[in-house]
Chains A and B, each alone.
Chain A
Amino acid sequence: MSTPEIVTVTVDGREIQVPKGLGMIETALEAGIEIPVFCYEPRLGAPVGACRMCLCEVEGMPKLQAACTMTAQDGLVLSTAQTSAKAAEGQNAVLEFILLNHPLDCPDCDKGGECPLQDLTFRWGPGATRMRFEKRTFDKPIPVSPLIALDRERCILCYRCTRFSETVAEDGQLVAINRGAGSIITTFEDEPYRAHFSGNVLELCPVGALTSTTYRFRARPWEIQNVPTVCGLCPVGCNTWATTREGKVARILSRNHAEVDEGWLCDKGRFAYAHLTAEDRISVPRRRVRRRGFEPLSWEGALDEAERSLKEAGGPVVVAFSGGETVETATAIARLVKEGLGGGSALLPDTFHPALDRFRAPISAIRDADVCLVFGDEPVVERAPVLDLWLRAARRGGAEVITLNPAGSAALKPGSAAWAAAQLQAESPAEELRDAKRSLDAAERVAIVWSEDDSTGGVHALALAESLGDKASVYLIPRTPNGRGVAAAWGDPGSLPDGDIGVLIVSGDEAAGSPDVRDLAERARFVMTTAMFESEGTLWSHLVLPGTSYLERDGTTVNLEGRPQRQRRAVAPPAEDDLAFFAGLAGRFGVDVGPWPTMLPDDHAVLPEIESFEGEVSVPKTSAPKGGGKELAVVRYRSLFSGPAVERVDQLQFQRPQAEIELSYEDASARGIDRGAEVTVQSNGTSRTLRARVNRRLRKGVVRIPSEHAEGLQDRVEVRSG
């Protein structure tokens, strides 16, 4: 990138030097002058100049200009309302027009105290109203979804929300209908705004028109505290503010990290915090007595019990991680086991090949790629939602986004990722990958995204990146939020023992709910589990400790890029946190682990330097997945809106995956299945009734089902209507 030319601009008589092309709103800010805006929001794409709040006088132009649509040019002389009477009159005019409809019910409005319109009205607003006709009236707040309420009387039609829906999330759900003064913001018919990123419109709305149903009337801005932290629900690690009031989390807001999230959050990250106060929250330690009875323990009692059991158990030690632990907790467990108990093996949710760091780049660099290759059968948006927004931004910016999955731009057979990566390194790849290969060869910057579990830790992506040389970056999306940090904290997982297990440490709810862990538990003499909620796993554990949420503890989490980020305790957990427990336990075994984290990263963490890797990367051989048969191949994916946290939030239930099966157009037609019809899905004696959704992009012979609706089904199924 060349350094931009520096130009001189005069704003309200102050001369400043800024890069040519800088937005005029930002240019004025450089000069210390704030120009009021409503519709302007650079993250929503090119400025639209709709609200006209930013009208300013520009030397040499007869009419006032919308400053937000202008950029810094040499010699430009701009006068804002602060020095130009004409601009002031223009802004007053616009403000008056905006207030024609606005109810001015600020004392009742959730936005009160943090509302730009309120501030402006206070600063500039006309003292007496000249409007002697009725305002537009609408029904009082209507639900746009169970999460979002819309008060149309307050809406100033800045179109920020609809522009977000159309051009950032590209979900096409929240729209403006009608024309002129009859325009309103709405969803289709009575359908809720059901999309992964809907909550962002709450932060975008400059007035109190769109408000959160989970936050409304709960708190006034002066009663709250905002704690900077990092979301712990997926491996993107979006930066957030946790707003707390009276010791409870009241809402989650974005905290723009330009390289990670650009200020967007997914609805899980924004709304799932209510799981902290779920009814089945485990708040005291307990141990199992006799068959299914439990007995509460004091904290010391729990440590005693754990110490005693660990000493008595004998046999191999196994730790099952959830991937949501902080680096510090995972380290404490690792040191307890390795230094205090003489070693053990681990079930790690994710593995990362150390050589991957060579192709590390910030997530934001995806937008600068000219080709993005997305491997894997799981939709990126379900695994790492905000990363999907960067891919969309790349596409809008002209990049070619090649998705290699059964519903992708190159519609491959299920399970083709590794094979496809190998093919793309070949001189002449298989027919269906030729176009992709051509694009790849011509590209100057390539982003490789891997969106499914990869037990090799990313070697296939790595090999492809190596073949492309410097122009590639790799984003391996782990299954869990801190899978990367946990894997690094533990090190070599070792091999799990075949026979009896002495001690099984189950860390966290994901592990407690996993069928694999259940199999291990059946072989274990002593099972010790930390969990926030009751589950099957907590029932078969001998010792259960209250788990904590990412909002309740301090620590480090490493996102998919490999960026260590700081999570802060926003609210207190019901008991001590996991780190305190394992540190205490380690102490009993002579291992000195501090009960609180030290050396935490900054609140806006940078990406570590790229480290070189000297070792060998060995790539397993790949082969084309087999197809054929008249049965349909099942692709399952885990919806973002699943898991212990989401399950416990009422308002998120509508976001849970529907009991649907996606069928290709060909397969649906051949079976006489209409869109929306009920179908029977069958394999080896198991059968399920699901609703059919026809996906014209899905490859023939493949069906797609969210995991939670595919339980019991084999990898190949029969589908028939009715």
Chain B
Amino acid sequence: MAQADALYDEIQTIAARYPQRLSAVMPALRLAQERYGWLPPDAFREVGEALDLTPAYCKAVASFYDMFHLEPVGRHMIEVCTNVSCALVGAQQVLEAFEGELGVEAGETTEDGEFTLRTIECAGGCGWGTVVSVDHRYREPVKPDDVPAIVEELRNGSE
């Protein structure tokens, strides 16, 4: 119960910042996701309990947003923007370089659970494409040639 209690308390602190507690549901889900790495059913139960919501409601909210993971993801998240601006300057080639380097396709997680590779919509770095978000920090611009070094760096754990 201790861990659930800690989450519960943290969520109360967040909820107190808003005029209405329901507003805390997204930050609470983010917090739970940081705990679990993704959002398993129990995460929805815990967030629900803390905010007086049903787990179904919490999942309905979470599933609307791309950054909440309803399935387990790798320890590292590599997201390649393939929207128009990045694609015009070679995003697909960057994506393919990652696919080759990691041995997975976009949307998949490596067998060792280290990396999830996925494409994302416009990340907001279009002038410096291709934008790649590595563990939520942007690298820009990334060229296919940069890819092995990025993967190597993550493998070596220098985060």
Contact = CB atoms under 8 A, between A and B. Distances in A.
Q: Do A and B come from one complex?
A: yes
Interface in A164-182: 166, 171-179
Given A178-B64, A179-B63, A675-B1, 19 more contacts: A172-B56, A172-B57, A173-B54, A173-B56, A175-B56, A175-B59, A176-B60, A177-B64, A178-B63, A188-B41, A188-B44, A188-B54, A188-B55, A188-B59, A189-B41, A191-B56, A669-B1, A675-B49, A696-B49
B56 A174 contact: yes
A541 B24 CA distance: 61
Contacts of A174: 56
A632 B53 CA distance: 27
Interface core residue of B53, B54, B55, B57 (most chain A CB under 10 Å): B54
Nearest to A674: B1
Interface in A145-189: 166, 171-179, 186-189
23 contacts: A171-B54, A172-B53, A172-B54, A172-B57, A173-B54, A173-B56, A175-B57, A175-B59, A175-B60, A176-B60, A178-B63, A179-B63, A179-B64, A186-B56, A187-B56, A188-B41, A188-B55, A188-B56, A188-B59, A189-B41, A189-B55, A675-B1, A696-B49
A173 B54 CA distance: 7
Contacts of B59: 175, 177, 188
Nearest to A170: B54
A570 to B, nearest CB: 35
Interface string B50-68: 0001111101100110000
Contacts of A166: 57
Contacts of A669: 1
Nearest to A184: B63
Q: Interface residues of B: mostly helix, strand, loop or mixed?
A: helix
Interface residues of B, number: 13
A166 B22 CA distance: 13
Contacts of B57: 166, 172, 175
Contacts, number: 39
Contacts of A189: 41, 55
A177 B60 contact: yes
A675 B4 CA distance: 11
The 4 A-B pairs with the shortest beta carbon distances in the complex, nearest first, are A172-B54, A175-B60, A188-B56, A177-B63
A662 to B, nearest CB: 13
Contacts of B63: 177-179
Nearest to B1: A674
Contacts of A186: 56
Interface core residue of B1, B56, B59, B63 (most chain A CB under 10 Å): B56
Contacts of B56: 172-175, 186-188, 191
Interface string B72-101: 000000000000000000000000000000
A177 B1 CA distance: 29
Interface in A648-697: 669, 674-675, 694, 696
Contacts of A191: 56
Contacts of B44: 188
B109 to A, nearest CB: 20
A667 to B, nearest CB: 13
B54 to A, nearest CB: 4
A191 B57 CA distance: 13
A312 B3 CA distance: 73
Contacts of A173: 54, 56
A544 to B, nearest CB: 46
A179 B44 CA distance: 18
Nearest to B70: A177
Contacts of A176: 60
Contacts of B55: 188-189
Contacts of B64: 177-179
A172 B25 CA distance: 14
Nearest to A179: B64
Interface in A371-402: none
A89 to B, nearest CB: 31
B55 to A, nearest CB: 5
B107 to A, nearest CB: 14
A675 B41 CA distance: 15
A650 B60 CA distance: 30
A189 B58 CA distance: 12
Interface core residue of B1, B60, B64 (most chain A CB under 10 Å): B60
B47 to A, nearest CB: 12
Contacts of A177: 59-60, 63-64
A189 B40 CA distance: 10
A595 B86 CA distance: 85
B13 to A, nearest CB: 16
Nearest to B60: A175
Contacts of B53: 172
A421 to B, nearest CB: 28
Contacts of A694: 49
A578 to B, nearest CB: 43
Interface core residue of B59, B63, B64 (most chain A CB under 10 Å): B63
Nearest to A166: B57
Contacts of B60: 175-177
Contacts of B54: 171-173, 188
Interface in A182-216: 186-189, 191
A541 to B, nearest CB: 46
A15 to B, nearest CB: 44
Contacts of B49: 675, 694, 696
A599 B79 CA distance: 75
Nearest to A162: B60
Nearest to A669: B1
Nearest to A175: B60
A673 B23 CA distance: 30
Nearest to A188: B56
A66 to B, nearest CB: 22
B11 to A, nearest CB: 12
